[in-house]
Structure 1
């Protein structure tokens, strides 16, 4: 099974509960096996004689982040409890260069950090990100809506859940260039059978300056017997400031090549309801992703063609070059 199946499909996986169907259990078990392939090794599994300076750097980063997590969690620990010693941090850092015609200097830095707080019975996570969307965002930087550019700023938040596998979560934090916000999200997965599944979610939030906003989305996914994956993503955003909706539709097809490489073909479209229901941008791409050297180190090459309304829909040709590093037991 390809090393990318989990990373591509993980957003459609929710922890099993006792009332899940047997097909959902089998699907989760299969993806957990893949999870073992793509997650980083714990620090003590790389033999010192085989560890390069880069291995030691990744292990040092993981240990340093875990120490910070334990120190943070110790503030919430009750007297006599050592639960804070189990606190862990996990995340990823991705650096990319996405040159294209008419813009050769497009750089993209994305990061995700999650800190589990066992002293609070794992009901609260600390989240730190480059923007306020903690899901995987695989679109190229040039298509991210500039009218929502305030999203592209460091965000820190506390996420509350009734239980670790709860579908409903609440966040309070700061983002969008210093605004305080509150957000509630419901997110769940439904498996039709062993091959078809659906992720659906809805969220509402309030920012101190941007005011009210809402999002709703649904993704349909099919995985065949040869691990080829087809996904159809749909998402709608309501913006209180402009009183309009932004919509996004995306078709993706993942083709495994080897045990550590795959190609993801992508067709992405985006538009707005005002003025008029119009298409604003779209692009096509083929993203090659591989991790031939380390399970926590990924490389990507993604040639693409982009059409933007602001550029009169003239084709812009480009290629995205990315490197991505994971640390901890990454499972955002």
Structure 2
């Protein structure tokens, strides 16, 4: 088992070497708000983050934030963290949604096509509802809202559950929460989640998340996520991310690692947009350690017509091998997404 874990760790770390070297490089110009950018696309300044943190520590949740993209930057401590969190918010990353303070819902219509399996249309819902009558720290969460961003589209679609989450601690560096969810089957999933984040330099920032769950039908689960972020300019970011997971019912470890380059476009006056280029690889350790997929792709996301409407186009290419004995196969694919995203602050703004 130790040798197996060492092989997995070595494979996961390959993608991080380049970015780790970059973290030691000279500091570049940090991200700052563009005066002509729309309100929805403005990255919060460090001064704004400090004020938000003070208000958050005082427990003041009565005043709505100016716009939904600013709703989860309460603890940004440097430019890398502020830009990384803004990008996660704009792309609708599940890891960002898991730490939102307000109620929200995302309805996403997806058409996932590839030349091997054809079209796979689906509707995915996720969100949370605050439960102030129970506790200011309690939320009702549903439909895989807490699924980590390194999960594949297929894995996210399987994370359909409804539950109650209680936030024990939420500070500058750490967050600890517990969730009890009900999943189709039916099955009960109690679990805890711990997050630690730390500035590395003025333009670099790291984050680690650990989740432990117990599935009443499938047994124990453990999921570790980590990412390193580096600002390249005021509107671009590079990230190395990795995931290591164990499920008792599968009896093997699987992993995923990749590098993404994100850029925010400021030239759209009415509605912001951003693009992501990525390369990734995934694998598992049984029957022996091997790579199940190499993936390369581009994701373009844009807000359109109204502040709560988004579309995404994601062409990609995969070199898959489902089983160790299989021959690797190249598969071209493209994913279309249409999303409606509503939360309390946006509704108030519209009024």
Partner of 1:312: helix, strand, or coil? coil
Q: Could you tell me how far 1:269 is from its partner in structure 2?
A: 1.3
RMSD: 3.4
- The Cα offsets for residues 132-164 of structure 1, whole Å up to 9 and x where unpaired, read as 7434467444xx4xxxx9x70520111112255
> Would you say 1:324 and 2:339 are equivalent positions?
yes
**In the alignment, structure 1 residue 155 sits paired with structure 2 residue 161:** yes
Of 45, 67, 77, 1:25 maps to 77
Could you list the runs of 5+ residues in structure 2 that have no partner in the other structure?
A: 1-33, 44-51, 58-74, 92-100, 347-351
Give 3-state SS (helix, strand or coil) of 1:121's partner.
Answer: coil
**Unaligned runs of at least 5 residues, structure 1:** 7-14, 40-86
Query: Matched residue pairs, number?
Result: 263
Hey, what does 1:213 align to over in structure 2? 221
Aligned partner of 1:125 among 139, 163, 166 = 139
What is residue 233 of structure 2 aligned with on the other side? 225
Task: Using the TM superposition, give the Cα deviation of residue 256 of structure 1 relative to its aligned residue in structure 2, in angstroms.
Answer: 2.5
* CA distance in 1: counterparts of 2:300 and 2:192, whole angstroms: 35
How big is the shift at 1:214? 0.8
Q: Within 2, Cα distance between the matches of 1:255 and 1:32?
A: 11
Is the counterpart of residue 112 in structure 1 residue 126 in structure 2?
A: yes
The answer to whether the 8 A contact 1:132-1:175 is kept is no
**Alpha-carbon contact 1:231-1:251 (below 8 Å) kept:** yes
Taking a change above 3 Å as real, the CA distance of residues 31 and 282 of structure 1, as seen in their structure-2 partners, is closer
Quote the Cα distance in structure 2 between the aligned partners of 1:212 and 1:262: 38
Q: Report SS of the residue matched to 1:192.
A: strand
Q: TM-score, normalised by structure 2?
A: 0.66
Which residue of 1 is the match for residue 277 of structure 2? 265
SS at match of 2:295: strand
TM-score between the two structures when normalised by the length of structure 1 = 0.69
Would the aligned equivalents of 1:132 and 1:176 in 2 still touch at CA under 8 Å?
Answer: no
Distance in 2 (CA, whole Å) between partners of 1:179 and 1:128 is 14
Cα distance in 2, alignment partners of residues 190 and 177 from structure 1:
39
Q: CA deviation at 1:38?
A: 6.0
Q: Is the 8 A contact 1:153 1:177 kept in 2?
A: no
Match of 2:260 in 1: 252
The 1:267/1:121 distance shift into structure 2, 3 A limit, reads same
Distance change in 2, residues 1:329/1:281 (3 Å): farther
User: Residues 267-286 of structure 1: matches in 2 within 5 Å?
Assistant: 267-286=279-298
Q: Aligned partners of 2:248 and 2:318: how far apart in 1?
A: 28
